[in-house]
Amino acid sequence: MIFNMVSEATEEQINHIVSRIKECGYEAHLIRGKERTVIGVVGNSGRHRSELEALSSAPGVEEIVKISHPFKLAARSVRPEGTVLDLGKGVTIGGKDIAVAAGPCAVESPAQIADIAAKVAKAGARLLRGGAFKPRTSPYSFQGLGEEGLKLLRDAADKNGLLVVSEVMDPSQIEIMLPYVDVMQVGARNMQNYHLLRGLGEIDKPVLLKRGMSATIEELLLSAEYIMAGGNYKVILCERGIRTFDTYLRNTLDIAAIPVIKTLSHLPVVADPSHGTGRRDKVAPMARAAVAAGADGLIIEVHPDPERALSDGVQSLYPDQFAQLMQEVRAIAPAVGRRVP
Ligand code: PEP
Ligand code: MN
């Protein structure tokens, strides 16, 4: 259930509703929009539901809306106009501008990350991606450079005016990563690591939450709900391909999930056509399709020398291919009312 407050609701009226919600045994989440404040009611230990419903006529309340989905704070009705997140350095996501993150699968060396950061920035990316803690299918594969990788990533990003997005695999890494990272990525394999999600609910930093490889859209939104229930509403959802019966590509990028999520939720959605296809030559067509379908951003693997990449070289674009893709996305965006800044 949510309380839509009238646009001129006073702080006193808002506080009154918040304290009544708490008295009734629920949690109150205050979500301030540009026009009005919304108060989300969550929790299942509360009892006095009819008392809450009676508050529909309290001063400052415009209406009470019942949310039928199992996810509540992530539901579209909480913020019908959509969430626009300010990521820093003038980069927003969820508004008119399309945000593009690009970089290698993993940070490998100072030269590799410095080289690729300059190239993706020149092509128009605003965020530098790169894993320092890598979730590898095999324990014998390269596992990432750890904190040293984060330092290199931050340095390369700062030199090129970029923001940093990198994956956090374990709650114990949150503290280590905070000083280096602008957006915390939760990988597909950890989408339902509820301990990690709760940990990320306690920080004040955007989280890029990737869809699990066998997760339904509802499960993805419930994972977002875990983060938001802790008070961190800065969640970006990511469609990165799911397992289907088809084996031709690494995964099946579920393009339809983009408009579906946009209907169900107010949160920004990005597409990852790199992991979504696993094949370099399929990345650009799927990136273009994702933008046409309404994605708010893209996250793309680009490597200066994909043949020698320590992970995901087969799906990594060459820098020139990425620059070409950016031009194409720039051309497509205005056709769907968007812009690549
Ligand atoms: C990645 O972004 O490098 C990654 C491991 O992605 P995913 O979690 O989607 O497999
Ligand atoms: Mn990868």
Query: Which residue in 168, 145, 155 sits closest to 116, CA to CA?
Result: 155
Phi-psi region of 60 (alpha: psi -120 to 50; beta: other; left: phi over 0): left
Tell me the residue length of the chain. 341
Q: Which residues pair with 208 in a beta bridge?
A: 185, 236
| Domain ranges for the chain | 2-66, 85-336
Ligand 1 centroid from CA 188, angstroms: 6
Ligand 1 centroid from CA 61, angstroms: 43
Query: Which residue in 166, 218, 214 sits closest to 188, CA to CA?
Result: 214
Calpha distance 71→73 (Å, rounded): 6
Closest ligand 1 atom number to CA of residue 105: 3
What amino acid is encoded at 57 in this protein? S
Ligand 1 centroid from CA 136, angstroms: 9
Tell me the pLDDT tens digit for each residue of 174-185.
Answer: 999 999 999 999
Ligand 2 centroid from CA 300, angstroms: 9
Ligand 2 centroid from CA 253, angstroms: 15
Q: State in words which class domain 85-336 has.
A: alpha beta
Residues enclosing ligand 1, CB less than 6 A?
Answer: 105, 131, 135, 187-189, 210, 240, 272, 275
pLDDT at 193: 98
CB burial of 317-328 (b: ≥16 within 10 Å; e: otherwise) equals bbbebbbebbee
CB burial of 139-157 (b: ≥16 within 10 Å; e: otherwise) equals eeeebbbeeebbbbbbbbb
Q: Which ligand is nearest to the CA of 316?
A: 2
Q: Which ligand is nearest to the CA of 132?
A: 1
pLDDT at 33: 84
Half-sphere exposure of 126 (CA within 13 A, CB side): 18
Calpha distance 27→23 (Å, rounded): 9
Residue 54 CB partners (closer than 8 Å, separation 6+): none
What Cα–Cα distance (Å) separates residue 325 from each residue in 216, 247, 258? 29, 26, 20
The answer to whether 338 and 96 are in contact (CB under 8 A) is: yes
Q: Which helix (H) or strand (E) holds 183?
A: strand 183-186
- Equal CATH topology for 2-66 and 85-336: no
pLDDT at 48: 81
Calpha distance 298→270 (Å, rounded): 5
Indicate the SS3 state at residue 46.
Answer: coil
pLDDT at 245: 97
Query: Which residue in 285, 219, 207, 302 sits closest to 257, CA to CA?
Result: 219
| Residue 60 CA to its chain's centroid (Å) | 33
Tokens of 136: 């590898």
Calpha distance 57→59 (Å, rounded): 6
Ligand 2 centroid from CA 2, angstroms: 39
* Most distant CA pair in the chain, distance: 66
Q: Which ligand is nearest to the CA of 129?
A: 1
Which residue owns the Cα nearest ligand 1 atom 10?
188
pLDDT at 46: 66
Alpha helices in the chain (DSSP H): 11-23, 49-54, 110-123, 147-159, 174-177, 194-201, 217-229, 257-264, 273-277, 280-292, 319-332
Closest ligand 1 atom number to CA of residue 135: 5
Residue segments in the chain with a per-residue pLDDT below the cut of 50:
none
Pocket test for ligand 1, best of 153, 166, 185, 242 (most atoms within 8 A of CB): 185
Q: Which helix (H) or strand (E) holds 65?
A: strand 61-65
Calpha distance 101→325 (Å, rounded): 13
Ligand 2 centroid from CA 312, angstroms: 5
pTM value is 0.96
Which residue owns the Cα nearest ligand 1 atom 1?
105
2-66: which CATH number, 3.30.70.1140, 2.40.128.110, 3.40.50.720, 2.30.110.10?
3.30.70.1140
The answer to whether 28 and 41 are in contact (CB under 8 A) is: yes
Residue 231 CB partners (closer than 8 Å, separation 6+): 29, 201, 202
